[in-house]
Amino acid sequence: MKRILFLIGILPFALIQCESDPRSAAERRLDERVDSVLALMTLEEKIGQMTLFTSDMDQTGAFLRPEYIDDIRAGKVGAIFNAYGAAYTRRLQEMAVTETRLGIPLLFGYDVIHGHRTIFPMPLAEASSWDMGWIRKAAQVAAAEATAEGLHWTFAPMVDVARDPRWGRIIEGSGEDPFLGSRIAAERVIGFQGDDLAALNTMAATVKHFVAYGAAQAGRDYHSVDMSERRLRETYLPPFKAAIDAGAVSIMTAFNDYNGVPASASRFLMTDILREEWGFTGFIVTDYTAIMELQPHGVASDPAHASELALNAGVDMSMQDGYFNLTLADLVKQGRVTEQDIDTAVRRILRVKFQLGLFDDPYRYSDEEREKAEVMKPENIQAAREMARRSIVLLKNENQSLPLSDQTRRIAVIGPLSEGRRELIGSWSAAGDWTKSVTLLEGIRNRVPNAVVTHADGCDIVCGDDAGFAEAVRTARLADVVVLALGEAYWMSGEAASRSDIGLPGRQRELAEAVLKTGKPVVVVLMNGRPLTIDWLDAAAPAILETWFLGTTTGDAIADVLFGDYNPSGKLPVTFPRNVGQIPIYHSALPTGRPFKAEDKYTSKYLDVPNEPLYVFGHGLSYTTFVYSDLTLSAPSMTPDGRIEVTVTVTNTGSRAGEEVVQLYLRDRIGSLSRPLRELKGFEKISLEPGESRQVTFTITTGDLSFFKEDLSFGWEPGEFEVHVGGNSRDTLMGLFEVVGSRQ
């Protein structure tokens, strides 16, 4: 029977073609092949395709639970996650192909978030590069390594907009802005999937978490979400739409609710918006046990009820809880769900398997020779180092403390992150081997082998006591310059890693103060998975580098920046608050009726801290300086079908070549609804030699000015608009233009 299945999958399936059929010949052919398989399946086999179970790992290696092996052989599993390695995935695939009635191949998925074996910077760090080409490249390398180890499908990119740094999963996304997030979402999807899913070095992308997971109240993971539909549409949905437009073939549901309905049971989200409004044709998979969690959410009374809600809302595949296998057949008999809806879900899943070429050769990704050749090859390591250099943000550099001179003879590397290796690859580091990471201490010694480089931790990351402070101070006093490495442990950010206090852990502040009191020049290197509240450090330290968790090549990449081999060009994709009391704080907030006035008590402000954040969105310094001048608009006004070109001159006024991210923001001065103070609507990363000037031009149309109105219609309005251009969201040149015509 298995042989018959593959022959039928290749032979034409008789369908009457209508001239009005909008599908291409290739799409029709694909659908024919899918239907040829579906026609042979029993109800139980269909439900099996909708079931995703995990592989496990222990000291002896990867293994599959005995009950899951039985389910595979019974045709009750369509996909496995957390299984990788060419040999291991081949063994599992052989079970499905040779031991089941129809021989339908398994789909292997994994959280390839920022690299597979070669670990790239965490996604929030990559977003700091504002470099779309390199962000795409990072996903391409990850896909090539992952597919060489038998994987077909990644649970990435995470495109949740996040404006609360207490939320640990801010590390996995692109920060606070929907425009930047949309651009990055598209690049990551294209990087993973390429232009041909059947290519051996591409894999299916999963856009997650649909939707508004980044708005969990109080920054507490898995918590409820409370927002208007307008906020949902203008802030949280755009990156998902961009990813779908880029071709993403799967979507993962979120853990949170929206308007009281858990995302995995929301027909409004999955069917009304995703399917009907946006035309998404891929499949929807839940997050881990999300259908099961409909019960503690309080909307499902038992497993059958939970499965009924999820399937009828639009879920195609259940992750890990097994509820579909347990309940769907009986639900069909009871008439609570239809086999037609099950068929629709299975078609979507089978379609991706065909696109990946699994029906032509189920073992095509499980090639041990390719695995040896591809994984962690030198080109991948070099690409990770380049991405890491581009992800570093220079937050402060008083008196040109950086870059360090090659002639510096005595360097002290102090702090709990100076030699810690496990932290460097961060959370969600896939199959990365942290023991192969380059530490900061190693990177500096690699860069200046003739210098005397001493080291003291001072304390560990939790830093519960000051027993090591004296040694750290002695080490600092004997040095010409101190590199002070502070930050978080890898487990302090990521899933289930929310923090109510986002300052440096333990007594790291006291360690830093003790080292700073020596009077030695100090450069602070931060390693962390989220924005931190470090206003005291900004006031005390002359130079601060935000390096995040940079992955496999951390130490070498940081050394490249410390010694000026690479001029830092990163810009913050998220605002740094002064303290948690300012949260939420982000650049595109709405104006208040009582804007801040220092002399007037009854205006919007705090009594104990400025309104302004510590570091604004888009902030990032360079070892050179850039001056913006001559902002010009091509016209003072435009009609609804017209456009305005905004041109600015950017000059490198320093002595080093450097890269600058030129950012364009807009503000609608008067609208039918209050509009944000500034909205990012364009950016371009340019490179300038010393003394070089370049004109950068942006084009504005009414599409850039459109928004969701009171009735949720989307369109523009006539009126006056501000345009701001600069190197961050605060320090900009401003121009004005008007849109004339009738309101859309």
For 537-580, how does the pLDDT look when each residue is reduced to its tens digit (9 = 90+)? Answer: 999 999 999 999 999 999 999 999 999 999 999 999 999 999 99
Mean pLDDT of 589-603: 96
How far is Cα 738 from Cα 670, in angstroms, rounded to an integer?
11
Per-residue confidence band for 7, with pLDDT thresholds at 50, 70 and 90: very low
Find the helix packing angle between 440-447 and 554-562, rounded to 10°: 50
The DSSP code for 576 is B
**Residue 742 pLDDT > 90:** no
Quote the pLDDT of residue 6: 46
* pLDDT score at 1: 41
Classify strands 153-154 and 204-210 as parallel, antiparallel or unpaired.
Answer: parallel
CA 47, 50, 56: angle at the middle one, nearest 5?
A: 115
Taking the C-alpha atoms of residue 680 and residue 660, their distance in angstroms, rounded to an integer, is 16
How confident is the model over 343-358, as pLDDT tens digits?
A: 999 999 999 999 999 9
Q: Alpha-carbon torsion 165, 117, 155, 240, what sign?
A: positive
Spatial distance between the Cα atoms of 441 and 684, rounded to a whole number of angstroms: 34
Asked whether the beta carbons of 657 and 691 are under 8 A apart, the reply is no
Pairing of strands 107-110, 318-319: unpaired
Average pLDDT of the residues in 667-694:
98
Position 70 confidence tier, pLDDT thresholds 50, 70, 90 = very high
What one-character-per-residue DSSP string does 532-552 give? ---HHHHHH-SEEEE-----T
- Residue pair 392/547 in contact (Cβ under 8 Å)? The answer is yes
Average pLDDT over residues 585-593: 97
**What is the spatial distance between Cα 637 and Cα 615, in angstroms, rounded to a whole number?**
34
Task: Give strand pairing partners of 697.
Answer: 647
d(CA 312, CA 194): 32
Cβ-in-10-Å burial (0-12, 13-18, 19+) of 279 comes to exposed
Question: What local confidence, expressed as pLDDT, does residue 59 receive?
Answer: 65
- Model confidence over 46-56: pLDDT tens digits? 999 999 999 99
| Amino acid 19: pLDDT | 53
- Tell whether the model's pLDDT for residue 368 goes beyond 90: yes
Other Cβ atoms closer than 10 A to 239: 29
Handedness of CA 365, 367, 372, 377 (dihedral sign): negative
pLDDT band, very low/low/confident/very high, at 744 (cuts 50, 70, 90): low
Tell me if the bond preceding 584 is cis, omega within 30° of 0.
yes
CB contact at 8 A, 624 and 658: yes
- Sorting pLDDT into bands at 50, 70 and 90, what band is 15? very low
The arithmetic mean of pLDDT across residues 610-625, rounded, is: 98
pLDDT in the model for residue 62:
86
pLDDT tens string 279-297: 999 999 999 999 999 999 9
Enclosing H/E stretch for 443 = helix 440-447
- Summary mean pLDDT of the chain: 96
Percent of the chain exceeding pLDDT 90 equals: 95
Give dist(CA 204, CA 375) in Å, integer: 19
| Positions marked active-site | 287
Buried (b) or exposed (e) across 133-168, using 16+ Cβ within 10 A? ebbbbbbbbbbbbbbbbbbbbbbbbbbbbbbbbbbb
pLDDT tens figures, 402-447 = 999 999 999 999 999 999 899 999 999 989 999 999 999 999 999 9
Question: Which domains, and CATH codes, for the chain?
Answer: 376-569 (3.40.50.1700), 626-739 (2.60.40.10)
35: exposed, middle or buried (Cβ count in 10 Å: 0-12, 13-18, 19+): middle
State residue 430's pLDDT score.
86
743 pLDDT band (50/70/90 cuts)?
Answer: low
Which pLDDT band, with edges at 50, 70 and 90, does 196 fall under? very high
| pLDDT at residue 5 greater than cutoff 60 | no
* Measured distance CA(293)–CA(168) in Å, rounded: 20
Specify the pLDDT at position 641. 93
Average pLDDT value for residue range 62-84:
95
Q: Alpha-carbon torsion 400, 403, 409, 413, what sign?
A: positive
What would you report as the CA-atom Rg of the chain, rounded to the nearest whole angstrom? 27
Q: Is 124 a residue whose pLDDT tops 50? A: yes
pLDDT for residue 14 is more than 90? no
Tell me which residue of 606, 531, 633 sits closest to 574, measured CA to CA.
Answer: 531
